[in-house]
Amino acid sequence: MKTKEFKETILYFGIVLFLSFFVFWGPLAFFKIETANLIEGTTGPKWALILYILGGFVPSFAGIFLTALLEGKPGIKNLFRSSIHIKIGLKMYLLILLIVLYYSGSLILLYTTLSGKFNYSQFWIQLPTILPLIFLGPLSEEYGWRGFALKRLLKSINSVFASLIIGLGWSLWHLPLFYMLGTSQYNFHIPFISFLISVTSSSFVYTYIYLKSNKSLFAVIILHWIWTYAMQVVGSSVIRTTLYNWLECVPSVLMGIVFILLLRKEKRF
């Protein structure tokens, strides 16, 4: 194990979780200060909303800052160059689309199986929101999770364990949202354990796309972008029950298993 890269990753997780728990999201959750209620369309104090938004950019901010600190200008140039490397091949674009279609389709199937009726027109109705969504997740997170942390972990441990660590850290970073007034996690009573399983399972998918695209950050940004949009549409269109909330992680688990096998099969990974 290359301890230098591993220690740098631990430092990254420490910074991200500290800022999330104690500076941005944690205090809002602890003191029950509402930022934005997605269901009622209301907002709380402007300063709280600013903290909420800035908190979402912590993973990328931390990744960019540490890259500049540890690698200097060449590292920053390589990081941003990777995020605009659009030549990932048609097969990669199709694979990304297939992954999102499988996941969203599986959740819709789960919902209809549990006697729900899904409104497919929401995919068109909510289409205007897809452009702003590139900032809420893809750009605000991927310069950190994959651009910094995964890049270093892959020099220390194999791709499966690296994905597991990223997935757990990624999930824990979201934890304050489950206690924050107005968030979908809080309003819809989503179990954190189910969420953790879903996110950790999806981490294997992101690692595979990252490696298969020759470590293109652009590829995982595109995946994150389309995935976020699909999950927004599905998540806002279903009438949630306790059973659905707990079973929501099943499609992720099945997909995660497939991509664990793919990562193990690729000896070069």
Residue 227: per-residue pLDDT: 95
36-37/42-43 β-pairing: antiparallel
Residue 122 near residue 238 (C-beta atoms within 8 A): no
Three-class SS string for 212-250? HCCCCHHHHHHHHHHHHHHHHHHHHHCCCCHHHHHHCCH
Residue 142 near residue 224 (C-beta atoms within 8 A): yes
Residue 35: per-residue pLDDT: 87
Residue 118 DSSP class: -
Look up residue 6 and give its two tokens. 């591993």
Structural domain harbouring 220: 3-265
Residue 245 near residue 194 (C-beta atoms within 8 A): yes
pLDDT tens for the chain, residues 1 to 269 = 568 999 999 999 999 999 999 999 999 999 999 887 765 666 789 999 999 999 999 999 999 999 999 999 999 999 999 999 899 999 999 999 999 999 999 999 999 999 889 999 999 999 988 888 888 889 999 999 999 999 999 998 999 999 999 999 999 999 999 999 989 899 899 999 999 999 999 999 999 999 999 999 999 999 999 999 999 999 889 999 999 999 999 999 999 999 999 999 876 66
Residue 36 pairs in a beta bridge with: 43
Rg of the Cα atoms in the chain: 18
Tokens 């949202």 locate to 177
Tokens 């209620």 locate to 37
Residue 105: per-residue pLDDT: 96
Number of domains comprising the chain? 1
Residue 182: per-residue pLDDT: 87
What's the pTM value of the predicted model, to 2 decimals? 0.94
Residue 57: per-residue pLDDT: 97
| Segments of the chain assigned E as strands | 36-37, 42-43
Residue 20 near residue 13 (C-beta atoms within 8 A): no
Residue 1: per-residue pLDDT: 58
Residue 36: per-residue pLDDT: 76
Residue 173: per-residue pLDDT: 97
